[in-house]
Structure 1
Amino acid sequence: MRGRMTDTDAPPDALMLFDGVCHLCDGVVRTVMRLDRHGVIRFTPIQSPFGRRLATRHGLDPDAPESFLFLDRGRPLRKTAALAALLRRLPAPWRWFASVERLPRGVTDRAYDFVAAHRYRIFGKDDQCQIPTPELRGRFLLD
């Protein structure tokens, strides 16, 4: 699953849709890329053409994202469920943190919502998305 993807292609797997101007989100992407040594997880910023289509298709406002989206075997997941699915794709010991999904969902999703609502103020944001380096570009879907 490299490069261009059309709307008629099979649903992507292990794809993280993230806010490309958010410093927190960018830091999470960089950390996941470093931990995911086999390159299983792919990324698309919500500001890219593909990211905007994907967000809209799954009910996220691409101009005001309140959550990241993780596609796990074609299933769109948000908030705690998305975080747990993403963590399960990482090597040990990181995958063990997927146990966050065993905590009460109302509590964890509210904590997620709080951080998401204040992320720009706490962590900052850029005016535009970072451009991936040539060696990492194959892990990003943009078109």
Structure 2
Amino acid sequence: MQTVTDSCRIVFFDGECNFCNGWVKFIYRRDPQGVFKFASLQSPAAQRILLPFNHRLDRIDSIVLVEEGKYYTESTAVLRILKRLDGPIKYLYFLKIIPASFRNWAYRLFAKKRYALFGRRYECELPSKALRERFVDV
């Protein structure tokens, strides 16, 4: 497990969501430099790290990216993550030209349906040792 520093980029995700867990694996495979660290929104690390941003975790229904002392949610978080990944996927960052209100509307629509489409887990999946080392421990 990693400790938090100001230079960390931390992706907070819904640990109960199958799609979100798959998203973490997707990021991990395309981030060989280890730019991103991870923590579930249900973790104590999320409680401690997101508290200064006045986030009430019981109200978050979005991915959260903490990067260089700022936080991003919804489509902006996704696009900022994609921009830093290896491969052609990073070019999807051009979608930033679409107004955030429309991007976030589409994001929230998908987020509402994610459990129905991909399922929900009630027990934590044990990630590989290499992936586990990228999880934040506060």
TM-score, normalised to structure 1's length? Answer: 0.85
Q: Give yes or no for the alignment of 1:24 onto 2:23.
A: no
Partner of 1:3: 2
Partner of 1:75: 70
Partner of 1:47: 42
User: Deviations for 1:47-93, whole angstroms, at most 9, x for unmatched residues?
Assistant: 11101233444344323531111112221011121111111111231
Task: Indicate which of 111, 114, 124 corresponds to 2:109.
Answer: 114
Across the two proteins, how many residue pairs are aligned to each other?
Answer: 138
Instruction: Return the letter of the residue paired with 1:14.
Output: R
Partner of 1:94: 89
Compute the displacement of 1:17 (Å). Answer: 0.6
Compute the displacement of 1:28 (Å). Answer: 0.5
Are the equivalent residues in 2 in contact too, given 1:48–1:142 (CA < 8 A)? no
Q: C-alpha distance in 1, partners of 2:47/2:87?
A: 32
Compute the displacement of 1:12 (Å). Answer: 5.0
Compute the displacement of 1:106 (Å). Answer: 1.1
Q: Percent identity?
A: 28
Gaps of 5+ in 2: none
**Secondary structure of 1:38 counterpart:** coil
Partner of 1:123: 118
User: Cα RMSD between the aligned structures?
Assistant: 1.9
Are the equivalent residues in 2 in contact too, given 1:12–1:71 (CA < 8 A)? no
Extract structure 1 runs of 4+ deviating beyond 4 A: none
Compute the displacement of 1:19 (Å). Answer: 0.6
TM-score, normalised to structure 2's length? Answer: 0.87
The 10-residue stretch of structure 1 (47-56 or 121-130) with the greater mean CA deviation from structure 2: 47-56
Are the equivalent residues in 2 in contact too, given 1:23–1:125 (CA < 8 A)? yes
User: Deviations for 1:80-114, whole angstroms, at most 9, x for unmatched residues?
Assistant: 21111111111231211111211121111000011
CA distance 1:138–1:15, change in 2 (3 Å): same
